[in-house]
Amino acid sequence: MAYNTFPQYGYPYYQPIQQAQPQSAPQNTGIVWVQGEAGAKSYLIAPNTTVALWDSETQTIYLKTADASGMPSMKILDYSVRDTNAQPKQAAPEINLDDYITRKDFEAFEEKIKKQIKKLSIRSAEDDE
């Protein structure tokens, strides 16, 4: 231990020097971990603040907000890990337009059906007489 000497009243005075002890400061990673929804609900926050609370038990993030009066509200977000090696989603299959008819063709077909129905109903009426 080191000492400072100060001449005081004609004789040296020894005063110990406080050496700074390295302190382990908490590392601020910006992530607040809670245990489950109950832990998120019981986490106190200041008025007019929002904090993201990460669930240590499930893949959930709780966004807890307090209004000006300190009344809390919470949004629950579920997250999933994206596989970077996965194949991208395939595009929609190519549509073969030969399998479909146009509106004009449909209306022409509809007219033919109506004419056939009319012929059949006239023929049926003649048979009943």
Q: pLDDT grade, residue 10 (50/70/90)?
A: low
Compute the distance between CA of residue 15 and CA of residue 92 in angstroms, rounded to an integer. Answer: 83
* 92 vs 112: which has the higher pLDDT: 112
In this predicted model, what pLDDT tens digit does every residue of 37-89 receive, in sequence order?
Answer: 999 999 999 999 999 999 999 999 999 999 999 999 999 999 888 888 877 77
The residue assigned the tokens 């007019």 is: 48
Compute the distance between CA of residue 48 and CA of residue 94 in angstroms, rounded to an integer. Answer: 52
pLDDT for 124 equals 72
pLDDT for 106 equals 93
Greatest extent of the chain over all pairs of C-alpha atoms, in Å: 149
